[in-house]
Amino acid sequence: MSAAEPRIGGEFYHVRVKPGEIAEYVLLPGDPDRVLKIAKYWDEGREVSFHREFRVWTGIVNGKPISACSTGIGAPSTAIAIEELARAGCKTFIRVGSTGAIQKGIDLGDLIISTAAVRLEGTSRQYVIDGYPASADYEVVLALIQAAENLGFKYHLGISASTDSFYVGQGRKGFREYSWSYSEKILSDLQSMNVLNFEMESSIIFTLASIYGLRAGSVCAVFANRIEDKFGIVGEEDAIKTAIEAVKILYEWDELKNIHGKKYFYPTLLRIGR
């Protein structure tokens, strides 16, 4: 086993998959149990591996391969998943998560489709300079928008903030009411900047995808609105359905690009057709 790229029996050490065992299109929930919720909407599927926080399934939807891999909570484990899944052949990543809104008028159960993310986590700083943007791929964003429209789900489009800390880093009190100046100002500062929500993975997914020439997007169900002091576990199934529908759309668009010899998707390709 190479220390530089550890594998066990040909499998990547953490996600425990081999090249060829997963699809090029991969959904990335944080929660391992959400992988099962995703797979139930596929035409067929099987568990490839389950090691630590990384549960991997591969299946078929509309006759095309699709995979899902849980990342656990936060950027460090998510970066490991991206690194190893990319080595295994994945090219398009869509985060399927939950989030807390920080703007008024965003209801519980709504979806937030991220166009970019504020890099408040530390992992991306191990890869790029502080000014490097964490931007979603425009094709994935468009596909997620089209998917939400197709399914009739209410969604919001904008910038998210990704943190390493669920509590103090998102402006909540720590144990024994611990706080400090950064924590006391972060929520109101980001709200003033028109950031839509807090979550914990999108920025590292976007950053690594940009570095490696891959595609990435994110759709999250709103479980909380911090400004309106609301909380409820709703919208998870809508986020899942939207991500799967987006994969179907991306397959169609990618086929059109191949037929017409184009590197990038643009709307006129839909009029030209096959």
**Which residue spans within 102-201 are E strands per DSSP?**
111-120, 134-135, 155-163, 197-199
* Strand positions, DSSP E, the chain: 7-8, 11-12, 25-28, 44-51, 54-61, 64-69, 92-101, 111-120, 134-135, 155-163, 197-199, 215-225, 230-231
Catalytic residue among 21, 24, 53, 84: 84
Distance of CA 78 to the CA centre of its chain: 10
Rounded-to-integer distance, Cα 181 and Cα 223, Å = 26
Number of residues in the chain: 274
Phi, psi of 231 (to 5 degrees): -150, 140
**99 DSSP β-pair partners:** 222
Catalytic residue among 14, 55, 156, 215: 14
Q: Is 14 a catalytic residue?
A: yes
**Catalytic hit among 226, 236, 245, 252:** 226
Backbone angles phi, psi at 46, to 5 degrees: -150, 150
Residue 52 annotated in active site: no
User: Which residue in the list 7, 51, 87, 172 is annotated as catalytic?
Assistant: 172
List active site positions. Answer: 14, 84, 172, 226
